[in-house]
Structure 1
Amino acid sequence: MKATSGRVLLIVLACIVVGLILMWWSTVLPVPWGALVSTFGAVVITVGLVNGVSDLFLRQTVARDLMSYMASDRRLVESGLDGMQALNNVDWSSFVPFARTIQCYTNDPSSFRTLIWHHILDRSAERPKEVELHFLDPSSSTLETVANQLGQESNTYRSILEEVIQDVEDDWKKSKRHKKSSLVIRTTQAPARHAYLRCDQRYALFIDPLDGHRGQNYALLLRSDRGTYPSIQWLDDSINRFQSNSKAPRYSDRAEENDDHLIEE
């Protein structure tokens, strides 16, 4: 950088010297040649100064901004953030196909059934998948609060929850799923801080009205296949901690889950 700055200064000085020489020479030339050479000398000086300022200051500013951007981009990659999209615009069909383990908690069962569930169901027929779904318990004391934050009547929201949970179970039983695919449905008394979908190393965190957001809901998309970073570890720990507080399976066709349920009973 210092060598480049030195070369730029030499070029600027050379332009100034050449321009001054031309302007001095113009004083001894006859009209109109004197005026023409004087103008050309002034142009040489101006071009040299403008290019010098551009190279010395603007280029260095751009370089610093670029380095700052690259550092920010690296931090963004290390955070695991892969994008942010409206729920309706996420390509859920490409989000779940190769995941072996799929885990989800949703505050909005209707959107889950409409946007995501059928993709999970279809892909579970093609490849072995361990699916674990968590819903707010329809008998939860927090149901009215969650329903209000979603802009729904508590009785309506309870009915939707019951309906979606039952539909998911019925859909699964009727599906031609892979023989090694399994489903566990659990309910929880308290909602998660964020609804989420975890598909192996890919994550979606749903930004919904529980955070005071109104209008179009969005999803933060993250992935951990680029490396293990503290943010991803924190997210995994949070999800695992939440799931450990869920009740015994409401439905399960996974052998070990059924065994655990029998022991609890």
Structure 2
Amino acid sequence: MSRAATAAQRGFSLIELLIAMALGLILVLGVTQLFLGSKRSFVLQQQMATLQENARFVLTRISRDLRQAGLFGCLDLQRLPADTRSRLPAEFTEPIAYGGGVLTLLSAVTAHDPLASAGPRSAADYDARWLLASDCLHELRIASGSDALEVSPGDVLIPIRQMEYRQSGDRLQARINGTGNFETLIEGVAQFAVQFGLASADGERSVAGHYHSNLDPLDGPRVRSVRVRLALTDAPADPATGLVRPQTYTLVAALRNRLD
């Protein structure tokens, strides 16, 4: 066989093949690591976005209810005649309360037509717990739940809704109008803490001193603002093992009707 034929049939040596395989393996490992890193980064971003969206949803809802707590439409309960005030539900004396880990808020339902036409109405018609019919001065009639309230033309209707919030395990739950079961709003809750900013006296508008973790019923009229601290995690059983560190969100809401 000629030297030219031998040269034409010559291929890669074993060493060259091993080097090529090693380089290919390194390249594959590099691409794999890049893919895994990108996937982990994507998952982390998704988890962070989920926590932020959950916090935004809950805090926006609680903030709205806090700002309206104690709002009873055109009525000033303190200026009603004594015999009229005596007929108010006991819950009206504490439009904002906190006990047993449950934050309870009372406020008027604003999305309705307040001027009534003659006929029966009920609180259930407005997804409320109580329905008030008043002339905004001294006359007041009350019905609760599905009980019918006969209203006259010109009556101002004021539906009053009760909201409750609590942490149960790793869930933040809510209940409307004090009946039925609590429903879960979000999961992954590591902490739900509530603190209250109190004025030095009933007639003062500003918060005096630091915020208080406990609320005595006698101090309820002095509440001017509420601070809510919400800690969320993607691993409630052991936050230290989560993909992302626990995220803490803080909300401070003022009670509008007590700052006027």
What is the TM-score with the length of structure 1 in the denominator? 0.28
What is the TM-score with the length of structure 2 in the denominator? 0.28
The structure where strand makes up a greater share of residues is 2
The structure where helix makes up a greater share of residues is 1
Q: Which has the higher contact order (CA 8 A, sep 6+)?
A: 1
